Amino acid sequence: MKRIVFLILILQFDAKAQINDSIFIRNIYNEALSSGQAYENLRGLCKDVGARLSGSAEAQMAIEWSKRKLESYSFDKVYLQEIKVPHWERGTKESGWLRSKNGTLTKISLLALGGSIGTNGILSGEIVEFQHLDDLKKAKRGQVEGKIVFLNQAMDEQQIVTFKAYGGCYAIRGEGAIEAAKLGAKAVVIRSIGMPIDNHPHTGSMRYSEEIDKIPAAAISTQDAEHLAKMLQNGKVEFILEMDCRSFPDAVSYNVIAEITGSTNSNEYITFGGHLDSWDTGEGAHDDGAGVIHCMEALRILKTMHYKPKHTLRLVLFMNEENGNMGGKTYAQWAKDRGEIQIAALESDRGGFSPRGFNCDGSTEQVKLLESLAFHFKPYELHIFEKGYGGVDIGPLKETYPGIPLFGFVPDSQRYFDFHHAPSDVFENVNKRELELGCAANCAMIYLLDKNL
C-alpha cells in the first residue's frame, strides 16, 4: 500500500512536471512570436553587416556586432575566443564567356569556388563535359589534357530531403579540381549545386591536394549549365574566364561566446550555436544567419523568462564553418583543455524555414531520449525526432568528447538549395514567422535538454 501511494505521488509529480514544461514551452513560443527580436536581429546581421567570409572586414564586423548584441542581453558571460582562419578573397575580376564553334561569344556569370587560385589573366580552353565525377575519374588523359573540365551533375530532384541530393553532388565541388588536374585540365567549371534552374551561380568550398597541380575552379548557374550542355551537342565550345581570387596568410578571428551559468552543475556545458561566417555572396541570411539568430534568440528568451539552468548554457557563434571549420575545431580542443564536461551540443545550420524537428547524432539511448521529447513539440507541428546529423561546427566535439550526443535542428528543407551560397541568400528570403518558430523550437529543445540530462 505504501508503495502504491509512493507510485501515485511519483506519477502526480511527473504529470505536474509535464504540465509545467508544457506551460514553459508555450511561453517560449509566445515570447518568440509576440516579443521576438529575431527578425530585426537578422536584418541587422544581413543588412548592417552583410556577407561575412572568414578573414574579411565584414567577418570582423559580424564579431563586433554580435558581441555587442549579446552584451546588451546581460548574460553571465560574453567573450571572444581567438582562432586562426583561412583568408581567401574573390578579388575584383570574375568574368566568363562561351565561344561557340561559329565564333559567337556569350557572357555568362560565374563565381569562383572558395579557395580557388586565380587565372593569372585570361584563360581559355575547349570545354569537355562530364555528368559525374566518376566519369571524369574514368576518363583518359587525352580526353582532358589542356582542356577545361565541365562537371554538369544536377541535384537529384527526386530526393525528398534536399540535403540528400546535396550530399550526392557535393564531390564535384570539393574534389573536381583535383580530379581534373590529375588528367592535365587547365581549369574546372561546375554546374552550381542548386536545386532550381535559375540564373545565378552558387559558390562553396573546394579543395586542392598537395601532390596535384592547382587549377582554377568556378561555378556557373544551373541555367547556363543547361545552355552549355546544349551548345556542346552542336559542336566544340571554348570557355574563356578570368578570375583574380587568391589566398592570403591565415588571419586572426574569433568565435563569439555567451553563457548563462549553471545553477547546480556549472562545469557541465550544453553548447549550442550556428556559424557567424558566410560565403561572400548574398547576405548569409539562411546560411547561417538564421542559425545564429535562432540560438541567440533562444538564450535571450531563457534569460527573459528568468530560467535558471542546471547546466551552463553556452551559445557559440562559430567562425569559419564554410571553409575550414577552424571555429568548431578550436572550440572542441579548448573545451577539453580546460577540463570542461560537455554533456550535449546542438546546432542550427539548415536555414530559417518552418521547423520540422531535430536529429540526434548519438547512441541508441540518446536517440531514444530525443524521441521521448517529441510529444512536447506536437502542438507546434514538429514531428521529426530521429537519428541523424548534428552539424559541422559541433562535429569536432565528437572527437574530444566521444559519446557526446549532437543535436541538429531540422527545418523544412525544400527551399534551402534555392539560396545556398548564392546571391539570393538575402534577408528578404527569410520569412519572419518561420524564423521565429525556429527560435522557439531551438529554445524549447535547449530547455528540455537542460532538464533531462
**Candidates 26-34, 128-136, 204-212, 240-248; binding stretch for a copy of itself (CB under 8 A):** 26-34
User: Does 304 contact a copy of itself by CB under 8 A?
Assistant: no
CB 405 within 8 A of CB 344: yes
> Would you state the cell numbers that stand for residue 310, as one nine-digit string?
542546471
321 carries an active-site annotation: yes
Q: Across the strands, what pairs with 342?
A: 269
Nearer Cβ to a copy of itself (48/157): 157
**Contacting a copy of itself (CB under 8 A), which of 250, 304, 412, 423?**
412
Residues 6+ apart with CB under 8 A from 322: 53, 54, 114, 204, 205, 275, 277, 278, 279
**Contacting a copy of itself (CB under 8 A), which of 74, 158, 264, 364?**
158
User: Does 356 contact a copy of itself by CB under 8 A?
Assistant: yes
**Backbone angles phi and psi of 393, in degrees to 5:** -65, -40
Nearer Cβ to a copy of itself (88/358): 358
What's the full length of the chain, in residues? 453
Residue 178 CB, nearest approach to a copy of itself (Å): 31
User: Does 374 contact a copy of itself by CB under 8 A?
Assistant: no
**Contacting a copy of itself (CB under 8 A), which of 418, 445, 447, 449?**
418
**Contacting a copy of itself (CB under 8 A), which of 384, 398, 400, 453?**
384
CB 257 within 8 A of CB 272: no
User: Does 24 contact a copy of itself by CB under 8 A?
Assistant: no
Nearer Cβ to a copy of itself (80/384): 384
User: Does 170 contact a copy of itself by CB under 8 A?
Assistant: no
User: Does 61 contact a copy of itself by CB under 8 A?
Assistant: no
- Residues 137-156, interacting with a copy of itself (CB under 8 A): none
CB atoms within 10 A of CB 400: 17
The radius of gyration of the chain from alpha carbons, rounded to an integer in Å, stands at 24
User: Does 437 contact a copy of itself by CB under 8 A?
Assistant: yes
> Would you state the cell numbers that stand for residue 200, as one nine-digit string?
545565378
The rounded distance, in Å, linking the Cα atoms of 110 and 187 is 13
Q: Across the strands, what pairs with 127?
A: 148
Residue 443 CB, nearest approach to a copy of itself (Å): 15
Give the number of C-alpha atoms closer than 13 A to the C-alpha of residue 215, restricted to the C-beta side. Answer: 27
Exactly one of 321, 322, 347, 436 is catalytic; which is it? 321
The rounded distance, in Å, linking the Cα atoms of 60 and 259 is 21
Strand segments (E) across 159-264: 187-191, 217-220, 238-243, 246-260
**Candidates 4-12, 246-254, 332-340, 426-434; binding stretch for a copy of itself (CB under 8 A):** 426-434
CB atoms within 10 A of CB 303: 16
User: Does 196 contact a copy of itself by CB under 8 A?
Assistant: yes
CB 398 within 8 A of CB 312: no
Nearer Cβ to a copy of itself (321/425): 425
Active site residues: 321
Interacting residues with a copy of itself (CB under 8 A)? 29-30, 33-34, 157-158, 160-162, 195-196, 354, 356, 379-381, 383-384, 412, 414-415, 418, 431-434, 437
